[in-house]
Amino acid sequence: MSEIIQLVIALVLFFLLDRFLKAYLLRKWLGGLLVVVGAVGCVVASQTQFLGLDLGLMSIFAVPLGLGLFKRRRRFEPIG
């Protein structure tokens, strides 16, 4: 699978998670987990393929996805 298709898959996944994941605790813990797993995966799975996906590339995409979820974890919380 080409890197462009994998990038599109990662962007669609990011959009869906960011849009439909509304629970504060789930956004917080999933964001933190994605950052840690992505950082470890960049080192451990840098040249590994699984079902046609480059796990090193998906690990690189997991870090900003996790940071985005963690940074905007209170996005759906009521103000006041």
Average pLDDT, the chain: 87
- Count the Cβ atoms, other than its own, within 10 Å of residue 20: 7
Residue 49's DSSP bridge partners are 54
Would you write out the chain's pLDDT as a tens digit for each of its 80 residues?
Answer: 788 888 898 889 889 988 998 888 999 999 999 999 999 988 888 778 888 878 888 888 889 889 988 998 888 888 86
**Residue among 80, 79, 74 nearest 22 (CA):** 74
